[in-house]
């Protein structure tokens, strides 16, 4: 059987595409997902993200290559391996970014990707609980809520932001990102709202949509310079399906370049070194990798009012019962609760650092095991990092993890901005509003005061915030992989639709921009199909 479209990857982008492309009952769509169904209990309990971030049943559990810039450490890169992809395991924070981010894409020559062009797709995708307006959507598939609960430490953090010269901002996804407040979240009635739940589930009953889970794509089938199908394995058994119109790679910024390279599309020298026949040369495949690298400061709190106490013993039992019957309470908390977007220099036009405040502290910078004593954590990262790395195959085995070399903190601007952000974190902790709750600073500690000390702390303890992007970037320069309609340069019938196409980093968590990208891509795919049909009939 042949399908019109084959989508590789049922993640944040793939689920959106499957829904929108199958809206036309005359169009057949095949969606392939290497992971299983999203039946794991912890996917749907919001606080369960702490259980899924290293669970191999739903997570690829990738890691970076050890690098000197981060003190020789290998850093975890969680990626969803389940229907819904990373939207089924992430921290559920909904952050669009700044208009400047997308206007930059347009200025780079990507027609149709400036802020005024993409805003309607953000609106189309969401239902914002406060209702739609000039910036927000009111009738889309994805439910975006305000954080359900309130807490005195979060309120103090917001007051602290105002105290150091910022402002309260109840909608950082609206007219202006700058300021402090509570994060908005992808939840519905106290449960995670993944793209599988929001987009795929409503479309599953359509006869023209076929979803195959546990289907590991091994190669894009090509004839000359045209993609004609996909080879994949289901529970170890090989299969092939043909695509009449297009193959769409939506495997994410880690695995989309891997899929292209396994199929002979990429840097010839690299492909030949692994015994892969070159189908098409594209030097940019796997390059331009960026991610948000965060450092986390924490403090010992002088009152037993933090998550550290609320999630232990009988308290946790009470909260579990509360969530089961009301969908409220501690179990609805997410990866970050309080937000802050600030400028580290007065001359900047828009914020260049983002803060995540949690009324709890963790044993290490990279795990999610809470301390036994009261604590709080404030994380910071640079909104638009300049340091670039790469993601490439390490061999011809499609089951082997690609080699991830992020090159974090290689750029001097990245170093300076993160250090300035950490100094702002300390300044926030020293305010009257928040300082009244603090016993002492635990990490990096009051004795670390210099820029050099702060930078070393970031190198020793920092970690990605799981926002890989850019490895199949959009553009028209020699290192671009796709054009501004997301078609792979030099190939026919092949597109990439996910975070890998971002030419530069959006200022914030990337799940919302990925969903927007898929919404826009679906319209472009439909437009191109209509144009082909018109041309064929002429």
Residues 6+ apart with CB under 8 A from 201: none
| Rounded-to-integer distance, Cα 149 and Cα 333, Å | 8
Structure tokens at 12: 């944040």
DSSP letter at 70 equals G
| HSE toward the beta carbon, residue 102, CA cutoff 13 A | 22
* Degrees to nearest 5, angle at CA 85 with 82 and 91: 115
Query: What's the 3-state SS for 283-336?
Result: CCCCCCEECCEEEEEEEEECCCCCHHHHCCHHHHHHHHHHHHHHCCCHHHCCCC
Q: Which helix (H) or strand (E) holds 15?
A: helix 12-21
| HSE toward the beta carbon, residue 386, CA cutoff 13 A | 10
Q: Which helix (H) or strand (E) holds 3?
A: strand 2-8
Of 127, 72, 440, 398, the closest CA to residue 264 belongs to 398
| Rounded-to-integer distance, Cα 393 and Cα 531, Å | 36
The sheet that has 184-185: what strands, in order across it? 126-128, 142-146, 184-185
Residues recorded for the chain: 538
Backbone φ, ψ for residue 79 (5° rounding): -140, 135
Q: What share of the chain is helix, strand, coil (3-state, %, to 5)?
A: 30, 25, 40
Q: Is 409 left (phi over 0), alpha (psi -120 to 50) or beta?
A: left
Assess whether the previous peptide bond of 444 is cis (omega < 30° from 0): yes
Q: Which helix (H) or strand (E) holds 269?
A: helix 268-273
Concatenated DSSP letters of 438-468: EEEEEES-TT--SHHHHHHHHHHH-EE-S--
Of 129, 144, 30, 137, the closest CA to residue 87 belongs to 144
- Catalytic residue set: 467
Residues 6+ apart with CB under 8 A from 115: 99, 100, 101, 102, 103, 106
């Amino acid at each position: 059987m042949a399908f019109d479209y084959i989508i590789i990857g049922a993640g944040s982008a793939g689920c959106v595409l499957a829904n929108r492309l199958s809206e036309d009952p005359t169009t057949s769509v095949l969606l392939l997902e290497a992971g299983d169904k999203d039946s794991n209990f912890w996917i749907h309990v919001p606080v369960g993200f702490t259980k899924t971030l290293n669970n191999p049943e739903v997570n690829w559990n990738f890691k970076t290559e050890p690098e000197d810039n981060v003190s020789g450490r290998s850093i975890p890169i969680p990626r969803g391996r389940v229907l819904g992809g990373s939207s089924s395991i992430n921290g559920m924070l909904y952050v669009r970014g700044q208009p400047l981010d997308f206007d930059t894409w347009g200025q780079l020559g990507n027609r149709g990707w400036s802020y005024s062009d993409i805003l309607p797709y953000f609106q189309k995708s969401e239902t914002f609980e406060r209702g739609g307006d000039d910036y927000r959507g009111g009738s889309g598939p994805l439910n975006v809520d305000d954080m359900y609960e309130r807490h005195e430490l979060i309120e103090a953090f917001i007051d602290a932001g105002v105290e150091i010269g910022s402002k309260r901002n109840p909608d950082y996804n609206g007219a202006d990102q700058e300021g402090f407040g509570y994060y908005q979240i992808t939840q519905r009635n106290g449960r995670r709202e993944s793209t599988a739940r929001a987009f795929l589930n409503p479309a599953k009953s359509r006869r023209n949509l076929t979803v195959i889970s546990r289907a590991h794509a091994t190669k894009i089938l090509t004839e000359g310079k045209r993609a004609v199908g996909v080879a994949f394995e289901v529970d170890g058994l090989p299969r092939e399906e043909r695509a009449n119109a297009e193959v769409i790679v939506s495997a994410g910024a880690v695995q989309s370049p891997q899929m292209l390279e396994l199929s002979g599309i990429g840097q010839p020298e690299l492909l030949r070194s692994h015994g892969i026949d070159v189908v098409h040369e594209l030097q940019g495949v796997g390059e331009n990798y960026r991610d948000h690298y965060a450092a986390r400061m924490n403090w010992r709190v002088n009152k037993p009012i933090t998550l550290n106490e609320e999630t232990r013993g009988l308290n946790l039992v009470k909260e579990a019962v509360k969530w089961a019957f009301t969908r409220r309470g501690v179990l609805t908390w997410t990866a970050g609760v309080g937000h802050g977007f600030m400028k580290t220099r007065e001359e900047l036009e828009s914020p260049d650092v983002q803060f995540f405040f949690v009324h709890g502290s963790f044993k290490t910078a990279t795990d999610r095991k809470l301390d036994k004593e009261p604590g709080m954590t404030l994380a910071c990262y640079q909104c638009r990092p300049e340091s670039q790395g790469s993601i490439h195959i390490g061999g011809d085995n499609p089951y082997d993890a690609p080699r991830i070399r992020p090159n974090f903190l290689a750029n001097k601007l990245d170093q300076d901005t993160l250090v300035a952000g950490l100094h702002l974190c300390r300044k926030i902790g020293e305010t009257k509003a928040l300082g009244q709750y603090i016993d002492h600073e635990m990490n990096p500690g009051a004795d670390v005061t210099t820029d050099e000390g702060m930078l070393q702390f970031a190198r020793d303890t920092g970690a990605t915030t799981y926002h890989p992007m850019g490895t199949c970037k959009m553009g028209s320069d020699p290192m671009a992989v796709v054009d501004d309609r997301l078609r792979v340069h030099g190939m026919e019938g092949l597109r990439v639709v996910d975070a890998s196409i971002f030419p530069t980093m959006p200022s914030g968590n990337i799940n919302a921009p990925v969903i927007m990208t898929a919404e826009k891509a679906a319209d472009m795919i439909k437009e191109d199909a209509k144009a082909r049909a018109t041309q064929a009939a002429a």
